[in-house]
Every structure is written in structure tokens, then in C-alpha cells.
Structure 1
């Protein structure tokens, strides 16, 4: 995927705090919980509840959010289509990490089991 610099900068400068309520709304509308959403975020990034609250409070950008994250070693197992692009073909590391998170939130909202979402099976 060729991501032009303007699009990349827009995503990089977007705050995690501005997107988190949308993720929460998406999963709760489908019967999932905020605790499950936080579990998914923790698995991918290593952010525990207290640290995630600080990220939201401090309005970290997605770029800072992922720079400070400890990406799970199995994150590369997150594959498939998101927003019309194959995740495994996205060249830019930041965009790929954002799409990893988008994909996990989608899977949670679609009712996949936590075991499958967290790539345990």
C-alpha cells in the first residue's frame, strides 16, 4: 500500500483519545464490554489500565502511542483486509500498527472469541 505523506501525517497526529470513544461505541453496540476492548488494546500494545488512562488523558497522538507501546510478538499474525487494504501488505510501520488495532476492534465487535482475537489458537 502506498500511503502518501499527507495521509500518514493525518493519522500520525490523530490523538488516541479522539478514537477510543469510537472504538468503545463500536464494541458496546455489538454487546461487548469496555473491559474486553481494554484487554485487546493491552494485548497489542502492553498498555495496562492505568497507563491507557494516562494515554487518553494526555491526548497522545497515534505516533506517540505506538512509539511508547510494546507491540505483542504475535502482532504479525494479524492479517486480512481492513479499510480495503491487506494489513500484511502495508509498508509503513505506523499505519500497519494502527490497522492492527482497527482489525482487533473489528474482530471484537463481530463477536470473535477472545482466544482467536488474541491469537492464542
Structure 2
């Protein structure tokens, strides 16, 4: 059996503070990171906090997401040297979508633009 990429089994709660830290270093806020996560996955408020606190891995985080935003196809560009729109594995693609949105936030893009409005 093929070994899963390590990121699939990492807990979402262990990576979440890194997303927030990356954003805050660039003058953005935890609330903006939460807004991005809510837009992408439908997790917000107490549901998001439960996902962070419960230690679920990325695989579970995305499989149990309230709803994946229907506009995810509008997320394009390169993360970690790979074009997100060309990633074959659906879970890896979702993880990279989230990485890409947080990168855009940290680079100073307007939230409306990040949320593909």
C-alpha cells in the first residue's frame, strides 16, 4: 500500500497556529485566517474551534468539512512550486488551496479578492 503524504496525517490544530502566525507577521489577523477557512470549508466559530482542539488530521478535517466552497476552482497559482490547479490528489489539492489562500493573505491581498468575490 502506498504511504500517505505526511501532511494528510498531521493534525489540523498543529498547523492552524502556523497559518495565523504567518498572517500576523504580515499585519493580518487571526479573524481573517478564520474567514478564509470558513469560506473554503464551511467551518466557522465553535465548529472550527472543535476541529482545532480535537486534533483531527487534515484528511478528517476536509472529509468532515461542512461544505467545500463551490468556487474552489477559481483558486489558481503556485504553492511549494506546484500549480494548485494541476494537483491530482483531491485531498492534497484542498490542503494546497488553503495554503495558497493563507499565502495570498500574508502577501497583502484584499480579503474580497482572496475569497474570489
TM-score, normalised to structure 2's length? 0.95
* CA positional deviation for 1:9: 3.5
CA offsets 1:10-39 (integer angstroms, 9 cap, x no match): 111110011001101000000001111100
Q: Give the distance between the partners of 2:79 and 2:88, measured in 1 at CA.
A: 14
> Aligned runs of 1:19-38 on 2, under 5 Å?
19-38=15-34
TM-score, normalised by the number of residues in structure 1: 0.92
Segments of 5+ residues of structure 2 without an aligned counterpart are none
Q: Which runs of 4+ in 1 moved over 2 A?
A: none
| Pair 1:40-2:36 in alignment | yes
- Separation of aligned partners in 1, 2:85 and 2:31: 28
Which of 90, 95, 111 aligns to 1:93? It is: 90
Unmatched 5+ residue regions in structure 1? Answer: none
Which residue does 1:114 correspond to in 2? 111
Please provide the CA RMSD for this pair: 0.8
